[in-house]
Copies of this chain bind each other. A is one copy, B any other.
C-alpha cells in the first residue's frame, strides 16, 4: 500500500466531509485543515493498517480522516480555552471568527467524526473511548492548573488521556481494520500509546524552547498557563512565593520559572523520557512480520523525539 497516496486521500476526505452550506463552518474548517499540521495520527493508523497486511485505501482512509478530525476539533476548542492566537502557522479559528464560532466549528468537526465513523461498527467504540479520554485529559489538565496540583503523576495521567489515548486508538484501529488478531491490535495500540507519550513530552519541551514561528503555534502557552512537562518536573506551577525563592524579584513569574527550568535538567530529562517511550513503543512492534511499513512505524516513533516543531 502506498502510504503517500493514502495520506493524500485522507486530506481529500477531510475537506469533502466539512463541506457545509453554512459558510463559517466550511470556512473555519477549511482554514484549520489547509494549515496542514503534522498528520501524525492518520499516518500512524495507515502504517499500522499496512503493517498488518491491509491494502484497501478507500476502506481505511475515512477512519484515518476521523482520527485526525478528532485532533483538529480538540485544537480548535483548546485555542478558545487557552486564548491561543496562532495555530499551524496561521491565526487560530478563534482569532479570526471569535469564540462563539470557534466553539461551533469545533463541535461541527466532532460531529463530522461521528458521521465518518458511522459505518464502522466495531471501530466506533475504540474511537469513542479515545475521544472521551481526550476530553477528560484536557479537563484534568485545566483542573490541575486551577488546583495547583500539577505533579509528575498527574502530568502522566493527563498526557496519557489527552494525547496518548488517541494515538493508541490510531494503532489499534489500523490493526483492526486489517483484520488483525486482538493480540496484534493490542500491541499496535500499545505502540501508539507510547508514541503518543513521547510526542507530548517533546511537544511540551518545544513549547518551552522553540519560538512561535518554528512551532507554528503560540509558544510558551504551557508555561504561561502553569502546566506541561517543565512545570511538573520543576516541582509545581509558579506562584509568587515559589518564584521569590528562585530568583531575587524577577520582573515576570513566567520568565522566572522558564529560566529555572532551562537552568535545571528538566529539558534533558524530558528527552530521556521521550526516548525511553519511543524505544518501548518500538519493542511492541515485535509482533509484526518484517515489512517496509514496520520500519516506517519505528522511524515514526523515533522521529517524534527528534522533531523541532
Q: Name A residues whose Cβ lies closer than 8 Å to a Cβ of B.
A: 20-25, 77, 80-81, 99-101, 103-108, 110-115, 117-119, 121, 124-125, 127-129, 131-132, 134-136, 138-140, 142-143
Contact = CB atoms under 8 A, between A and B. Distances in A.
A77 B107 contact: yes
A79 to B, nearest CB: 11
Given A77-B107, A80-B103, A103-B103, 6 more contacts: A81-B103, A110-B111, A112-B132, A114-B128, A118-B128, A119-B124
Contacts of A20: 132, 136
Contacts of A134: 111
In the complex, which of the residues A105, A107, A129 has the most CB atoms of chain B within 10 Å of its own CB atom? A107
A138 to B, nearest CB: 6
Contacts of A114: 113-114, 117, 124, 127-128, 131
A108 B80 contact: no
A103 B138 CA distance: 11
Contacts of A119: 121, 124-125
**Chain A interface helix/strand/loop/mixed:** helix
B129 A108 contact: no
A134 B114 CA distance: 14
A192 to B, nearest CB: 19
A129 B114 CA distance: 9
Contacts of A106: 107
A119 B22 CA distance: 30
B142 A100 contact: yes
A111 B21 CA distance: 24
A121 B132 CA distance: 19
A22 B139 contact: yes
Given A22-B136, A125-B119, A142 B108 contact: no
Q: Tell me which of A23, A104, A134 has the highest count of chain B C-beta atoms within 10 A of its own C-beta.
A: A104
A110 B108 contact: no
A248 to B, nearest CB: 34
